Each structure stands twice: as C-alpha cells, then as structure tokens.
C-alpha cells in the first residue's frame, strides 16, 4: 500500500532496534497506577496505541527516587515489584512491533511535598514552581544516590522488557537545573563552568549505560522555553546536546517546549501555533552527529509530521495528544485516511486537565482513553442485535451515540432541530482560535455520513413524532438552554438576579450565535469560569467592546486553570483592555447599569453598561424525556438534558450508551 506520507513511514534504526516508521507516542504521565503498580488501565491504554500503529511508545515516567514522587498515580520509584506488571505491557505491545521505552524522571526543586513527603532535592536549594516550598541543595553523596537510582531504574526497566529508557532532562527538571547557571549556583565539581554543570547528566547517562549494556536504547528528553529563554538559550541547548552527543551518551534526543516557569507551553493550547516544537528540534539537529532527533509539541496532523521529517527538522516525531484523541492516528495516516482521524482539540481539558487534578487522564473527544480495558479500545464490537435507533439532538452527546451505534451496525436516525450538527459546542468553535471544535463537528458529520446514518436536519420532534417513527431504541440528547435566572455562586441563596427581566440582558449563547449584538460597554457575569464566559469575553474584547468580567471566583477562568491555558487567556483579555472584578457578584441589574457587590467586604458600586451578558449554568431541556417516561418505549437520556455539564460528560455518556445498546 502506498501512503501519502512517505517520509514519516520510512523505518529508522535506534541502536539495536529498527522502528517501523518515524512516529512515536511520547512520554506523558497517564497517572493510572494503582498503589504504584501499572494495571489493566495502563495495559489497555498503551496496547490500543500499539494496535493503532505507534512505532515507539514512551511509557510514562517513573520518579526513580523517593524525593521525585509527583502524583498519586506515579509508579513505585525504587521497587522491583513493578517488573512483572510492566512485563505484561511490554509483551503485549511488542506483539504489535512497537519499540517500548520508559521515561525516568526527577523534577528536582519543582517537587510536590504533598505526594513525596520528602524535601525536594535540587542543585542549589531554589524554590519549587510546583508546591511553593523551597528545596534542599544536594550534597555530593546525595547526587551519587540519585545517579545510582537512575541506573537501578534503567536496569529494572530492561528486566521488565523495555527496549530502552528516556532520561527526562526537560522542562527545568533536575538535570536542566544542573545545566542552567540560573538554577545551578554550586561551586563544587557539579557547578561552575560548562563542564561542571554537565557532570551530573554525563555521570547519570554513563551509569545507565554501564548498568544496562549495549543492547539498550538511551534517549534524552530536553525542551526549550521560548517565553523564558534566559534559563537556557537555544545556543546553550545546542552546546549541551553537542557535548553529550560527542560522547555518544544518547541514541536519540527529543525536544519539547516550555518549562515549569511557563507551564502552558509544555502542552500547547490553542494559543500556540501548529508545529510549535520543530524549530527547536531543527536547531538541535544542526549540531548532533550520532543521536537521532525527535520533534514534539503541537504536531497535530499527518501533514504537519510529514513536513517536519521531509524538511529535515527532525528524524522522528512524537504525537501525544493526537494519539490520546485517536489511538489509531498512525494507521489512519498510513492508509491515507487522514480525514478519519478524530482531531484533538488542543483543549487539554481531560488529558492535562485530569492529570492536573491528580486523576488518571482521559480525553474530551475520546472518552475511551483510560477506559480501554472496560470499553474495549477503539474498535467497537458489532451488535449482536442490530436495531433501529432514533437519536434526538445532534450536539456532542447525540453525535457520539449515533456514531458509535452506527459503527456497531445499528440503523441510526439522527433528528436535529437546527440546520447543522454540534449544538452549543458549535458556538464554542466560533470563539477566537477555537475553530478546531468546528473541525471536530465536521468530523462527526463525515463519519455519520460514511456510516450511513440518516441525519434529518430542521427536524424538531415531539413525543408523537417519536412514537410515530417506531424506532426500537430512542435516545434523547436534547441538550440544555441558557438559564434566565441569573443565579450566582457568590449569592447562592438568591434564586433570581433582581432586574434580570429588564432590558439589555442576554446569554453568551445569544452573543456567539449573533442573535444579539451588544453595545460598547458589556458586563459579563461569569459564574462558570469556563471558555463559555472567557472565550465570549475574548470574542467581544477583540471586537472593541469594553468588557468587564464579574466572577465570584478568585481568578478569571478558574475552570480553565486545569488546562494550563488560563494565564494566556487572562493575558490576552488584559491586553485587549478587559476589566476583571473577582470575588464579586452582580447585586442588581438596572437595564443600563449594574450594582456590583464586593464579596470580601460587602461594598457596592453602581457602574454603567449597555448590556449584561450571562455565562451561567444552563438548564436542562428534558421535556421530551418527561413526556416519554412510562410510554413503554425503550428510552434513554444522555448529556445536558439529564444535567447540564461540560462537553466531556456528553461525549462520555454518548460513548457509554452507544457501546451498551
Ligand atoms: C497529560 C500529559 C502529561 C504529560 N506528562 C509528561 C511527562 O511526564 N513527561 C514528559 O516528558 N512530557 C510530558 N507531557 C508532554 C508531552 O510529552 C508532549 O510534549 C506534549 O503533550 C506536547 O505534545 P503534543 O502536542 O503531541 O501533545 C505530558 C503531556 C500530557 C498531555
Ligand atoms: S482532552 Fe482535548 S487536548 Fe487532550 S487529547 Fe483530548 S482533545 Fe486533545
């Protein structure tokens, strides 16, 4: 079979292993271990990406030393009991020809005492960007202890069937802390001049090689932080890579973006361009002679990856979120089916968003991520009892259940009241830089059409229409509507905002659907802290409205914090002149002004506005469900019509029901 992406599908050799092509599933903390051991959740997760074609998988990092434990789902750091559990994963993935690597890490000063219960160890005792504590400057003996821990971890990985290890030297973790004069203030042999600052990583890589022998890949994960470049300028990174490469200490080097100092770039959100990392892999490729170079960070599409390899920016490409969102990304690209790849939204909502909360990771658009062992991966088993399924509502819940049901062989009718799919999620796709959401909805439409689902647009169904259609299964995904009460978390015992029935009040949905065009001065009441408020504020501020955001939260975009995009959003809003009123609430709306109350001291001020725009929790549209209750039909309800929530709940319930019917 010929592939439209010939460069990415050329094999490449790393030491004793030949990778079947250039695409890997790079390191990321899936945070799925239970009691420090990888189990069936991990196995299902990695196996699905091996089945989906990944040439190399870098299994999530092991913290190596007791001071480096960072999450509840981290693997046991220095314990042979992990070996048989990892062996199950490496054996299963090897069956599919995937080269298996394990990342080893120690974050040094940026540790988390709440998880390690140990002081953070670092070169020079500088503060943590993670837990706001200080750190302990390692003695030479302690440096030796950490190096030995890495060597032992590499041995354990080899015994567990891994083909190699990747040393995490990126994001200003411990190794980079030793490299950079900004964080290495030592005056012993591990500090001072360039050679001194390199000693820690050189000794570590040498110890890992001595411990594991020749037939073991050793990779080296680095990063560049374009927003805080003075920690390690590109030229310095080049010198570091060249220094280790001259000594042939690593078989490959991979280059990400960002650091603990500007976290948002590590997992680039919509604020960052496609192919964010490759300019830096290109810089490293210019200086290394032995090691293969891997690009990573926001390489989203097969076209992106092909360009990176074909143009010589890197030898290999890591796609992390792309393969979380679609574990079969690689095979689809190889088969020339790029349009079938379920396109990652760069939203970070359920991957980093759940890791941020110290839960195991999943995906907004692929709810099977992390649940492969219970949902059966991404290859749905045909139904033994194909039936006629009517889905009412074409938002994310309805589209997902319709797609899964159709893929499993059911005859699907999808009735959508409007003239297009997507529901309110489509409106989110109209916010600045969020068009990837529209691409996802277009993907649904393509998939449903390919699967032969009968999509009936402009079709509002009442209970009688549902009965008349005579489907075997009825799925209600009728969604939700903006609430008109103006209820606020800051004033929780008050059911309605005084003045809400007056003039010049609308919802963010009204604004984004352009059914209301607000005046110049907009008061945006953000009671949810999501993109619903923040993205609409951005949309308005970009169009020269004077936007004031009132929220009971301590920070604008509180729910976006989990995605690491919140700082960029606030920065953008500030640049566009928006005003933030945090820990505040709207006491009363006067049609042309608002009384705003400061929740900390109770003081009130009256400010003039042309419009009040509400970003509040929706109300369910469940009338049809109520009518059909007890009708004798096989009726199910999913998504917002059950309870208004964010989109991941809709796609999850759609997937779960689609697999169950
Ligand atoms: C949930 C999550 C956890 C991550 N954890 C790690 C990690 O432990 N080590 C690491 O080197 N990179 C980690 N990363 C960064 C990824 O390796 C990768 O550089 C980043 O996701 C950007 O690549 P992408 O655009 O292909 O997703 C993580 C990424 C995600 C989404
Ligand atoms: S949660 Fe969002 S960013 Fe993360 S993999 Fe899924 S679609 Fe991509």
**Inter-axis angle of helices 140-159 and 194-212, to 10 degrees?**
30
Assess whether pLDDT exceeds 90 at residue 377. Answer: no
Name the β-bridge partners of 451.
none
Site to substitute for ligand 1 among 8, 23, 27, 28, most atoms within 8 A of C-beta: 28
Tell me the per-residue pLDDT of 456-514, one tens digit each, with 9 for 90 and over.
Answer: 999 999 999 999 999 999 999 999 999 989 999 999 999 999 999 999 999 999 999 99
The answer, yes or no, to whether any atom of ligand 1 lies below 6 A from the CB of 29, is yes
Q: Residues 362, 366, 371, 373: is their CA dihedral positive or negative?
A: negative
Tell me the per-residue pLDDT of 514-523, one tens digit each, with 9 for 90 and over.
Answer: 999 999 999 9
Atom of ligand 1 nearest to the CA of 168: 11
Name the β-bridge partners of 549.
524, 580
The answer, yes or no, to whether any atom of ligand 1 lies below 6 A from the CB of 354, is no
CB 171 within 8 A of CB 258: yes
Note the pLDDT of residue 230: 86
Note the pLDDT of residue 2: 83
Please give the distance, rounded to the nearest whole angstrom, from the Cα atom of residue 554 to the centre of ligand 2: 26
Note the pLDDT of residue 370: 98
Note the pLDDT of residue 37: 97
The answer, yes or no, to whether any atom of ligand 1 lies below 6 A from the CB of 295, is no
Note the pLDDT of residue 308: 98
Assess whether pLDDT exceeds 70 at residue 635. Answer: yes
Tell me the per-residue pLDDT of 208-247, one tens digit each, with 9 for 90 and over.
Answer: 999 999 999 999 999 999 999 888 999 999 999 999 999 9
Atom of ligand 2 nearest to the CA of 353: 1
The answer, yes or no, to whether any atom of ligand 1 lies below 6 A from the CB of 256, is yes
Q: What distance in Å separates the CA atoms of residue 11 and residue 292, rounded to the nearest whole number?
A: 13
Please give the distance, rounded to the nearest whole angstrom, from the Cα atom of residue 243 to the centre of ligand 1: 26
The percent of residues above 70 in pLDDT, for the chain, comes to 100
Q: What distance in Å separates the CA atoms of residue 119 and residue 457, rounded to the nearest whole number?
A: 60
Q: What distance in Å separates the CA atoms of residue 655 and residue 625, rounded to the nearest whole number?
A: 20
Please give the distance, rounded to the nearest whole angstrom, from the Cα atom of residue 400 to the centre of ligand 1: 26
Give the ligand at the shortest distance from the Cα of 175.
1
Tell me the per-residue pLDDT of 550-572, one tens digit each, with 9 for 90 and over.
Answer: 999 999 999 999 999 999 999 99
Note the pLDDT of residue 131: 86
Q: What distance in Å separates the CA atoms of residue 319 and residue 341, rounded to the nearest whole number?
A: 13
CB 95 within 8 A of CB 170: no
Confidence band (pLDDT; 50, 70, 90) for 187? Answer: very high
Give the ligand at the shortest distance from the Cα of 267.
1
Report, as an integer, the average pLDDT of 66-87. Answer: 94
The answer, yes or no, to whether any atom of ligand 1 lies below 6 A from the CB of 363, is no
Name the β-bridge partners of 561.
none
Site to substitute for ligand 1 among 26, 54, 294, most atoms within 8 A of C-beta: 26
Report, as an integer, the average pLDDT of 607-617. Answer: 98
Note the pLDDT of residue 188: 97
Tell me the per-residue pLDDT of 398-409, one tens digit each, with 9 for 90 and over.
Answer: 999 999 999 999
Q: What distance in Å separates the CA atoms of residue 407 and residue 429, rounded to the nearest whole number?
A: 26
- The phi, psi pair for 210, rounded to 5°, reads -60, -35
Report, as an integer, the average pLDDT of 111-133. Answer: 93
CB 86 within 8 A of CB 61: no
Tell me the per-residue pLDDT of 273-309, one tens digit each, with 9 for 90 and over.
Answer: 999 999 999 999 999 999 999 999 999 999 999 999 9
Give the ligand at the shortest distance from the Cα of 260.
1
Note the pLDDT of residue 270: 97
Bridging pattern class, strands 99-104 and 56-62:
parallel
Please give the distance, rounded to the nearest whole angstrom, from the Cα atom of residue 266 to the centre of ligand 1: 7
More confident residue, 379 or 222: 222
Would the pTM of this model clear 0.85, i.e. be above it? yes
Q: What distance in Å separates the CA atoms of residue 484 and residue 535, rounded to the nearest whole number?
A: 20
Atom of ligand 2 nearest to the CA of 348: 3
Least confident of 251-255, 276-280, 324-328, 378-382: 378-382
Note the pLDDT of residue 1: 66
38's tokens: 């990888």
Mean of the per-residue pLDDT values for the chain? 97
The answer, yes or no, to whether any atom of ligand 2 lies below 6 A from the CB of 361, is no
The answer, yes or no, to whether any atom of ligand 2 lies below 6 A from the CB of 363, is yes
Please give the distance, rounded to the nearest whole angstrom, from the Cα atom of residue 657 to the centre of ligand 2: 21
Enclosing H/E stretch for 121: strand 121-122
Instruction: Give, using CA atoms, the residue closest to atom 5 of ligand 2.
Output: 321
Note the pLDDT of residue 625: 93
The answer, yes or no, to whether any atom of ligand 1 lies below 6 A from the CB of 30, is no
Give the ligand at the shortest distance from the Cα of 68.
1
Assess whether pLDDT exceeds 70 at residue 52. Answer: yes
Enclosing H/E stretch for 567: helix 566-575
Give the ligand at the shortest distance from the Cα of 563.
2
Residue with tokens 């990342």: 103
Give the ligand at the shortest distance from the Cα of 364.
2
The residues, any chain, with a CB within 8 Å of residue 316's CB and separated by 6 or more, are 12, 19, 22, 23, 24, 56, 252, 254, 292, 293, 294, 295, 309
The residues, any chain, with a CB within 8 Å of residue 630's CB and separated by 6 or more, are none
The answer, yes or no, to whether any atom of ligand 1 lies below 6 A from the CB of 355, is yes
């Amino acid at each position: 079979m010929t592939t439209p992406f010939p460069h990415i599908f050329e094999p490449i050799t790393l030491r004793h292993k030949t990778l079947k092509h250039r695409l890997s599933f790079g390191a990321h903390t899936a945070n799925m271990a239970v009691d420090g051991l990888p189990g069936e959740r991990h196995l299902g997760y990695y196996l699905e990406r091996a089945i989906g074609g990944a040439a190399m998988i870098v299994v999530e990092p092991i913290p190596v030393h007791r001071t480096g434990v960072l999450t509840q789902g981290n693997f046991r750091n220095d314990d042979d009991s992990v070996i048989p559990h990892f062996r199950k994963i490496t054996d299963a993935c090897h069956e599919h020809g995937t080269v298996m690597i394990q990342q080893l890490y120690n974050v040094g000063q940026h540790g988390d005492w709440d998880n390690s219960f140990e002081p953070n160890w670092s070169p020079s005792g500088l503060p943590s960007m993670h837990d706001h504590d200080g750190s302990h400057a390692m003695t030479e003996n302690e440096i030796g202890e950490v190096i030995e821990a890495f060597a032992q971890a590499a041995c354990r990985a080899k015994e567990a069937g891994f083909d190699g290890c990747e040393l995490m030297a990126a994001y200003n973790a411990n190794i980079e802390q030793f490299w950079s004069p900004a964080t290495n203030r030592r005056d012993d042999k591990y500090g001072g001049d360039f050679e001194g600052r390199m000693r820690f990583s050189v000794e570590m890589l040498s110890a890992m090689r001595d411990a594991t022998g020749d037939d073991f890949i050793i990779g080296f994960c680095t990063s560049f932080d374009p927003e805080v470049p003075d920690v390690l300028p590109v030229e310095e990174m080049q010198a570091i890579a060249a220094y280790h490469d001259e000594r042939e200490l690593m078989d490959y080097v991979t280059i990400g973006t960002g650091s603990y100092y500007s976290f948002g770039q590590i997992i680039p959100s919509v604020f960052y361009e496609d192919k964010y990392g490759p300019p830096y892999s290109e810089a490293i490729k210019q200086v290394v002679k032995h090691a293969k170079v891997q690009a990573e960070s926001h390489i989203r599409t097969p076209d992106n990856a092909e360009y990176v390899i074909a143009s010589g920016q890197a030898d290999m490409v890591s796609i992390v979120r792309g393969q979380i969102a679609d574990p079969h990304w690689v095979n689809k690209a190889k088969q020339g089916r790029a349009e079938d790849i379920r396109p990652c939204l760069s939203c970070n909502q359920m991957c980093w968003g759940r890791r941020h909360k110290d839960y195991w990771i999943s995906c907004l658009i692929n709810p099977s991520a992390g649940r492969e062992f219970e949902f059966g991966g991404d290859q749905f088993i045909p139904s033994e009892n194909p039936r006629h399924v009517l889905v009412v509502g074409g938002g994310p819940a309805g589209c997902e259940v319709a797609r899964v049901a159709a893929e499993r062989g059911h005859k699907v009718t999808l009735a959508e009241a409007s003239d297009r799919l997507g529901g309110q999620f489509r409106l989110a796709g109209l916010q600045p830089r969020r068009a990837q959401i529209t691409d996802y909805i277009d993907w649904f439409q393509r998939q449903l059409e390919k699967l032969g689902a009968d999509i009936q647009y402009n079709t509002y169904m009442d209970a009688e229409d549902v009965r008349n259609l005579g489907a075997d299964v009825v799925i209600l995904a009728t969604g939700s509507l903006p609430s008109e009460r103006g209820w606020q978390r800051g004033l929780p015992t008050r059911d309605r905002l005084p003045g809400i029935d007056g003039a010049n009040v609308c919802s963010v949905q009204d604004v984004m659907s352009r059914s209301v065009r607000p005046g110049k001065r907009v008061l945006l009441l953000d009671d949810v802290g999501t993109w619903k408020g923040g993205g609409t504020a951005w949309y308005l501020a970009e169009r020269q409205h004077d936007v004031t955001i009132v929220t009971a939260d301590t920070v604008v975009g509180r729910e976006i914090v989990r995605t690491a995009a919140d700082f960029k959003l606030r920065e953008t809003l500030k640049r566009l002149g928006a005003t933030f009123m945090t820990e505040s609430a709207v006491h009363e709306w006067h049609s042309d002004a608002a009384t705003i109350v400061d929740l900390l001291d109770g003081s009130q001020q009256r400010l003039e506005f042309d419009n009040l725009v509400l970003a509040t929790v929706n109300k369910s549209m469940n009338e049809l469900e109520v009518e059909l209750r007890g009708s004798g039909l096989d009726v199910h309800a999913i998504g917002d019509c059950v309870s208004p929530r964010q989109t991941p709940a809709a796609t999850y319930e759609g997937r779960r029901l689609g697999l169950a019917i």
